[in-house]
Amino acid sequence: MMANGDSKTNERSALLPNHSSESFNASRSESMRRRSSTSANEATKKERFRAIRICYFGMFVSSIVFSITVSSLWPFLQIIDTSAEATFLGWLVASFSIGQLIASPIIGYVANRTDNNKMPLVVSTALIVVANVLYGYVQSINNFGISNKWWLMISRFIMGVGAANSTIMRSYSSAATTLKERTAVMANLSAYQGVGFILGPLIQALFAFLGYPGPIHKPWLYFNIYTAPAFFSVLTAGINLVLFLVAFDDARIIVPSRKSISNSTSNKPLSKVDKNEHRDETKAIVCCLYMFFIAYLTFTNYETIASPLSIDMYAWTKEQSTRDNGYLLGALGCMSVVVLIVTKLLAKRLQDRMLTLIGLVICFLGYFVFLPWGSDYPSIQIATLPFPTMTIGTPSNSSTPLSPTTTADPGDKGCPLDYQWCYYTPRVQLWQYIMASVIITIGFSICNVICYSIFSKKLGDRPQGTMMGIFTSAGSLARAFGPITVGFLYKHWGPRVMMIFMLVFVFTGILSLLFNYPRLYIENEDVNELDDDVNEEDEERNINAVN
């Protein structure tokens, strides 16, 4: 019995080392697999973030091509076509955004259908290069077929079509990041876009030393203060094009399990609770689009009106307006970088919806400060009085009436004679102009980042190409609608009516946010921390490099 018992014991004892060895080998195999997987994931992560950093630069380029010529667009337009009016300036500024508005949903849809991000990025960036070459050679075209002002508008429209690549860069960055990575990456995209949008005029101002007609004034090339920014955009967009062609790898993270879950549940009928949640989510997304529209409307309208306002209110020359507004907007761009950093820090303590509300209220205060008050009126341009044609024996009272008219002299300074509001609307003081500029920039910088953050979080893990196209179109619509409307209001009724118009719009944005405030709630990251940890390995295991 003892022997048998010892034999069984020895048999069990003999099995234990074998079992331990198998366990050890399995553990070692799993460890090697994990190390191999981790090594592959780290390599793919480098590819993903290399592509994302290229997108950062691309966002900067696509926004800077819009803003780099805004402060000089009005004086340049008057040089190439002396009959151009402020109303046409509004359409000229808006043409960029109309092109982006039309192209953004289309390019997002194409990228989704073809499952290819690289080719749309290459084509759209090439369009930016071509459009800026056309802009730089507008004077050389010399009214070929149509007026130069229309060639200028065509170039701006093509730039806008090319700048729709921001849609692809947003949707790609969403697909190329894990849940934990996405918030920071999306915030950085918005930051690069916002900084490029604001810093553009500073780069324009750096070319002020060229003056007009500039160092090169030949039929085959006009290089001056107004065309130099276009050639600078050709250089930066060309660099971005090379990066997309050579260094951009369309590496993304694909999570089949989540897709299969969403597909399996999509065929089931929604309950009443699910329908209500879906309706609230839709309202939240629409609210985000409207707030983004308002945010871009506030800064685009300010940037559009800065040049004509400074010429009319303060009797600045065209070169002085281009230079000084460029310096001012450049300083505001540097300030916006600080605001973006502070906003990211505040986002850790305050909810996104609260930060958006703060940003909109700040924009409202900025336009309130902008309102003209007092009894100080702008200087009026010197009139050219036509000499009466008189014949001998003709009474002097039958001569041509002496009516003041505006001159065609490009050096005219002060408020134009044919703007009736110049005679009864007080001047916007220079301190008001600077203070309002600072306040509006702070509000815009906050709203620009946070609106996008809320929108991307509300979309979740669904494919975002088309939706990001719609989101980009909301900002483009603001940049199209705003300059056209503001140009019309400014010409006919002056800055006071224009500022009231903006106050009303920003106030509707505040009301929309307050009405949808509960729907804009975003769960804190610590609530979903467990889900993130559970899905992180699944996400990293399903990294797929798509070429």
pLDDT tens readout for residues 302-344? 877 888 888 888 888 878 888 888 888 778 878 888 888 888 8
Lowest mean pLDDT among 123-127, 310-314, 383-387: 383-387
Strand partners, 221: 218
In a domain, 15, yes or no: no
Q: Where are the alpha helices (DSSP H) in 371-464?
A: 430-459
Half-sphere exposure of 108 (CA within 13 A, CB side): 25
Looking at the structure, do residues 318 and 191 belong to the same domain, yes or no?
no
Question: Tell me, what amino acid is at 467?
Answer: M
Q: Where are the alpha helices (DSSP H) in 68-147?
A: 70-80, 86-114, 118-136, 138-141
In a domain, 532, yes or no: no
Looking at the structure of the chain, the number of domains it has is 2
Q: What is the mean pLDDT of the chain?
A: 78
- For residue 178, the domain's CATH number is 1.20.1250.20
In a domain, 533, yes or no: no
Q: Domain residues for 333?
A: 275-381+412-524
Q: How confident is the model at residue 264 (pLDDT cuts 50, 70, 90)?
A: very low
pLDDT tens-digit readout, 67-104: 888 778 888 998 998 888 877 888 888 898 889 889 98
| H/E run at residue 288 | helix 272-314
Looking at the structure, do residues 282 and 358 belong to the same domain, yes or no?
yes
Mean pLDDT of 440-464: 80
Buried b (16+ CB within 10 A) or exposed e, 12-51: eeeeeeeeeeeeeeeeeeeeeeeeeeeeebeebbebbbeb
* Cα of 132 vs its chain's centroid, Å: 18
Strand partners, 222: 217
Give the global pTM: 0.68
91 vs 488: CA distance, rounded Å: 10
Pair 247, 87: CB distance under 8 Å: no
Looking at the structure, do residues 80 and 199 belong to the same domain, yes or no?
yes
Looking at the structure, do residues 97 and 223 belong to the same domain, yes or no?
yes
In a domain, 460, yes or no: yes
Residue 68: partners with Cβ closer than 8 Å, 6 or more residues away: 200, 201, 203, 204, 229, 232, 233
Which has more confidence, 404 or 418?
Answer: 418
Looking at the structure, do residues 433 and 292 belong to the same domain, yes or no?
yes
**Boundary of a domain, candidates 252, 287, 311:** 252
Strand partners, 62: none
Q: How confident is the model at residue 272 (pLDDT cuts 50, 70, 90)?
A: low
Residue 460 has pLDDT above 80, yes or no: no
Looking at the structure, do residues 426 and 314 belong to the same domain, yes or no?
yes
